[in-house]
Amino acid sequence: MSLAETLLPDSSAVDPLGTTSLNARVDAILSLTRQITKLVSRETALLKTRRAAALRETEAEKTRLSNLYAREMRAIEARPELLAGITPRQKEALRQASETFRGCIVTHVRAIARIRAVSEGLVVAIGEELNRRLKPVTSYKGPDKAGYNRAGAGAHSPAFGFDRSI
């Protein structure tokens, strides 16, 4: 039995990427990180060009890559020795890819936050306008006067009544 088999008896449980060597693992992590970075960058570009509906096309791939990336990061966090022995060059490449990915995510989150703020603002403005138009008339100024709301004119009764008896 080899040292790797002793340390990693079930490689599929420890290595979501299914690699068999340290170099292959580093290459797979780099490839995965670059793929997900490219996909998120493409989605950010779609958001910036107001084509958010096109995000549905990349949803399945993003979910697959995200899940794989998350499993790999959990495996490394649980067993840091999985990357023990990588060269300084490999370590720097992983660091740079990770940094680029984080920057891409920050940009993506900001784009989503902006779109959300605009969308929520539109919903609030539409709601306020509908509320203003459907609000019952609180004072009668006549049909030719400003402030007369035709939509609510017939839907309410006066707030006071007249008594003609003395």
Per residue in 76-135, pLDDT (tens digit) is 889 888 888 899 999 999 999 999 999 999 999 999 898 888 888 888 888 888 888 887
Cβ atoms of 156 and 135 closer than 8 Å: no
In a domain? residue 26: yes
Instruction: Check the CA dihedral 87-100-79-26 and report its sign.
Output: negative
Please give the span between the terminal C-alpha atoms of the chain, in angstroms, as a whole number. 112
In a domain? residue 104: yes
In a domain? residue 79: yes
Q: What angle do CA 28, 33, 37 make, to 5 degrees?
A: 150
In a domain? residue 162: no
**Who has greater pLDDT, 70 or 51?**
70
What is the arithmetic mean of pLDDT over 41-45? 92
Structure tokens at 124: 């609030």
Residue 48's pLDDT is 86
What is the arithmetic mean of pLDDT over 50-74? 89
In a domain? residue 144: no
With pLDDT > 70 as the criterion, what percentage of the chain qualifies?
A: 72
Residues 122, 61: Cα–Cα separation, whole Å: 31
Cβ atoms of 76 and 82 closer than 8 Å: yes
Residue 68's pLDDT is 93
In a domain? residue 115: no
Domain count, the chain: 1
In a domain? residue 25: yes
Residues 8, 27: Cα–Cα separation, whole Å: 19
Residue 115's pLDDT is 86
Supply the range of the domain harboring residue 30.
Answer: 3-108
Residue 8's pLDDT is 39
In a domain? residue 157: no
Residues 102, 3: Cα–Cα separation, whole Å: 34
Would you say residue 54 has pLDDT above 50? yes
